[in-house]
């Protein structure tokens, strides 16, 4: 190896050039100003984009779970950090296309005072910037977690969808409660027990809140799953029936507890805590079950076997090459 080759670095270990660092700092300052410093949205146009966005994560919009999104995004980026850093390469001019498109969406949001349009444009702006500065391979690895931002935007049509989900949840709870010996009568979206106690299946109980939250979790799950793309799609789509089944069982449990422990506890404490102690553990277990079926076994055991086989093959190969 000659001296010039000895001092060379691979693209994965090559330090950032001064121009690249300056570009990243400038980009961070511009995005930070537009999304965290430009007050033009919300009541009286006194809020910046991210402030209005996070304020929309509330019970009224059935989007209380939005607070987990920043931690979920940070966890996904940390999980793939080594791959992302190793994928850095020469930037490409094509990255300017999605970056400029994202910037135009922000300008449109400023003109129309629609903060959601600005959030929709943010993944384009960030992914395009990474593509322009680090190349398409790094941008591809970052695209999925960045576009998860779309699942953290409360949108109006979800409220319109609650009508159908309310009817489905009400009928499933009615049938399920009857199977467990708790007869009920349906009156619209209200279920009345034999003793006259009634429970309204409102928008939150209909499953729209739990469905959207589980979709966000399932999307993150598919990102870290080591299975082919078509299996990842199936795993993500499984969140829909899992959310409906899990929510129906939660409603059924409310009626069963109401019969044997009283309506006060069932409609109060258990109603408020059942999503945390029943719905999410049950739904995550079903996601793991679907993942295991697609994987052909428990994911961690499957990968451990692959690593053992890879290690054995490597050792055998080294042993053969060292044999005189």
Q: What's the confidence (pLDDT) of residue 322?
A: 52
Residues 214, 229: Cα–Cα separation, whole Å: 20
Q: What's the confidence (pLDDT) of residue 164?
A: 67
Residue 318 falls inside a structural domain: no
Number of separate domains in the chain: 2
Residue 71 falls inside a structural domain: yes
Residue 231 falls inside a structural domain: yes
Two tokens, residue 287: 């996601």
DSSP labels, 129-186:
HHHHHH-HHHHHHHHHHHHGGGGGS--HHHHHHHHHHHHHHHHHHHHHHHHTT--EEE
Domain boundary among 154, 186, 215: 154
Residue 312 falls inside a structural domain: no
Domain boundary among 110, 130, 154: 154
Domain match, 64 and 182 both:
no
In which band, very low, low, confident or very high, does the pLDDT at 318 lie, cut at 50, 70 and 90? Answer: very low
Domain match, 161 and 296 both:
yes
Q: Which domain holds residue 222?
A: 157-307
Q: For 213-254, how does the pLDDT look when each residue is reduced to its tens digit (9 = 90+)?
A: 888 889 989 988 888 989 999 999 998 888 888 888 888 888
Domain match, 263 and 162 both:
yes
Domain boundary among 130, 154, 178: 154
Domain match, 72 and 195 both:
no
Domain match, 72 and 106 both:
yes
In which band, very low, low, confident or very high, does the pLDDT at 107 lie, cut at 50, 70 and 90? Answer: very high
Output the pTM of the full model: 0.73
Domain match, 169 and 149 both:
no
Two tokens, residue 176: 């399920």
Q: For 250-307, how does the pLDDT look when each residue is reduced to its tens digit (9 = 90+)?
A: 888 888 888 887 778 887 888 778 878 888 899 999 999 999 999 888 877 755 555 4
Residue 320 falls inside a structural domain: no
Mean pLDDT over residues 190-203, rounded? 73
Tell me whether residue 212 is exposed, middle or buried, using C-beta atoms within 10 angstroms of its C-beta: 0 to 12, 13 to 18, 19 or more: buried
Residue 280 falls inside a structural domain: yes
Domain match, 148 and 165 both:
no
Domain match, 113 and 88 both:
yes
Q: Which of 96-110, 157-171, 276-290 has the lowest mean pLDDT?
A: 157-171
Domain match, 13 and 126 both:
yes
Classify the C-alpha dihedral 108-113-118-120 as positive or negative.
negative
Two tokens, residue 245: 């089944």
Domain match, 97 and 192 both:
no
Q: What's the confidence (pLDDT) of residue 289?
A: 93
Q: What's the confidence (pLDDT) of residue 311?
A: 47
Residue 315 falls inside a structural domain: no
Residues 271, 275: Cα–Cα separation, whole Å: 8
Answer whether residue 2 shows pLDDT above 60.
Answer: no
Residue 314 falls inside a structural domain: no
Q: What's the confidence (pLDDT) of residue 229?
A: 87
Average per-residue pLDDT in the chain? 81
Between 97 and 309, the more confident residue is 97
Answer whether residue 97 shows pLDDT above 90.
Answer: yes
Q: What's the confidence (pLDDT) of residue 1?
A: 44
Phi-psi category of residue 241: left, alpha or beta, with phi > 0 → left and psi -120 to 50 → alpha: alpha
Domain match, 247 and 303 both:
yes
Q: For 26-35, how does the pLDDT look when each residue is reduced to its tens digit (9 = 90+)?
A: 989 999 999 9
Q: What's the confidence (pLDDT) of residue 156?
A: 61
Domain match, 150 and 163 both:
no
Q: What's the confidence (pLDDT) of residue 11?
A: 47
């Amino acid at each position: 190896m000659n001296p010039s080759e000895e001092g060379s670095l691979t693209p994965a270990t090559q330090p950032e050039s001064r121009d690249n660092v300056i570009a990243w700092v400038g980009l961070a300052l511009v995005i930070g100003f537009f999304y965290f410093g430009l007050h033009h949205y919300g009541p009286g146009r006194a809020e910046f984009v991210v402030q209005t966005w996070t304020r929309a994560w509330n019970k009224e919009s059935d989007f209380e779970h939005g607070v987990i999104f920043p931690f979920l995004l940070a966890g996904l980026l940390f999980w793939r950090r080594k791959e992302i850093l190793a994928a850095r390469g020469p930037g490409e001019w094509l990255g300017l296309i999605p970056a400029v498109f994202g910037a135009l969406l922000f300008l449109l949001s400023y003109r129309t005072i629609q903060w959601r349009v600005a959030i929709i444009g943010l993944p384009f702006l960030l992914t395009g910037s990474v593509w322009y500065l680090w190349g398409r391979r790094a941008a591809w690895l970052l695209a999925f977690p960045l576009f998860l931002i779309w699942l953290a935007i409360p949108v109006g049509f979800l409220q319109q969808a609650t009508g159908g989900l309310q009817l489905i949840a009400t009928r499933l709870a009615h049938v399920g409660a009857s199977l467990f010996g708790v007869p009920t009568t349906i009156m619209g979206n209200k279920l009345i027990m034999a003793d006259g106690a009634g429970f309204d299946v409102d928008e939150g109980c209909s499953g729209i809140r739990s469905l959207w939250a589980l979709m966000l979790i399932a999307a993150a799950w598919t990102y870290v799953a080591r299975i082919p793309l078509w299996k990842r799609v199936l795993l993500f789509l499984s969140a829909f029936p899992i959310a409906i089944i899990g929510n129906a069982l939660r409603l059924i449990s409310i009626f069963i507890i109401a019969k044997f422990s009283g309506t006060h506890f069932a409609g109060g404490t258990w109603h408020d805590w059942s999503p945390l102690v029943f719905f999410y553990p049950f739904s995550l277990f079903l996601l793991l079950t679907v993942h295991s079926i697609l994987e052909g076994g428990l994911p961690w055991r499957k990968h451990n076997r692959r690593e053992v086989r890879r290690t054995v093959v490597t050792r055998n190969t080294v042993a053969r090459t060292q044999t005189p």
